[in-house]
């Protein structure tokens, strides 16, 4: 799988492999005609991104709530029942996990990674970012308003998870 810009053939956008994967993964149709458009107020949709984070089911809700409360994410969807197969320390492992679909902004990537590392039970949690290449202008504007970028600074608050002290 590779990520590339949409390909335009004879005035029509053609789907690239990432669109096919996302459509299959989330059972949605990717509207390739809307690619590259600006959202409300002329903000480029590329400023909005999705982070995919996997976590044990028993901590996914707390992680998602912490990201939203800390204004590092506008919304986090938790997809339960994901089965992860991976190689770790020379062995093939299989775990039942939840997939968190985190909607955030590109300037907050570093802070999202730091926060997840600080609160996730795994030493090397999966945290990957994907661009949002289009969408509802109203939704993207809402997302941007809920995750104000603060370049060079930490988030206003980093709520503690159960049994931990708050981080500032």
What is the predicted pLDDT for the residue at 83?
95
Of the pLDDT bands very low, low, confident and very high (cuts 50, 70, 90), residue 32 is very low
By the 10 Å C-beta count (0-12 exposed, 13-18 middle, 19+ buried), 64 is classed as buried
By the 10 Å C-beta count (0-12 exposed, 13-18 middle, 19+ buried), 95 is classed as middle
Lowest mean pLDDT among 3-7, 80-84, 90-94, 122-126: 3-7
Helices (H), the chain: 17-26, 57-69, 109-119, 137-146
Q: Out of 3.30.2130.10, 3.40.1190.20, 3.30.70.120, 3.30.70.240, which CATH number does the structure's domain 39-131 have?
A: 3.30.70.120
Contact 109, 128 (CB under 8 A): no
Q: For the chain, what are the domain ranges? A: 39-131
Would the pLDDT of 39 be above 50?
A: no
Region of residue 110 (left: phi > 0; alpha: psi -120 to 50; beta: else): alpha
Return the structure tokens found at 78. 């938790």
What's the predicted TM-score (pTM) here?
0.67
Q: How far is the C-alpha of 162 from the C-alpha of 105, rounded, in Å?
A: 26
Return the structure tokens found at 107. 């300037």
Would the pLDDT of 128 be above 90?
A: yes
Higher-confidence residue of 54 and 150: namely 54
| Residue 86 φ then ψ, to 5° | -155, 165
Higher-confidence residue of 18 and 140: namely 140
3-class SS of residue 106? helix
What is the predicted pLDDT for the residue at 43?
53
Would the pLDDT of 22 be above 70?
A: no
């Amino acid at each position: 799988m590779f990520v590339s810009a949409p390909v335009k053939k004879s005035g029509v956008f053609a789907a690239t492999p990432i669109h096919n994967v996302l459509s299959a993964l989330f059972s949605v149709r990717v509207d390739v005609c809307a690619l590259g458009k600006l959202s409300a107020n002329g903000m480029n949709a590329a400023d909005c991104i999705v982070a995919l984070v996997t976590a044990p089911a028993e901590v996914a809700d707390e992680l998602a709530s912490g990201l939203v409360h800390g204004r590092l994410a506008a919304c986090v969807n938790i997809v339960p029942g994901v089965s992860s197969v991976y190689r770790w320390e020379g062995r093939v492992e299989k775990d039942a996990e939840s997939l968190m679909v985190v909607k955030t902004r590109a300037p907050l990537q570093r802070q999202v990674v730091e926060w997840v590392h600080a609160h996730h039970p795994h030493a090397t949690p999966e945290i990957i970012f994907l661009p949002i290449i289009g969408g509802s202008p109203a939704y993207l504007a809402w997302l941007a308003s809920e995750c104000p970028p603060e370049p060079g600074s930490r988030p206003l608050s980093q709520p503690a998870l159960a049994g931990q002290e708050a981080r500032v």
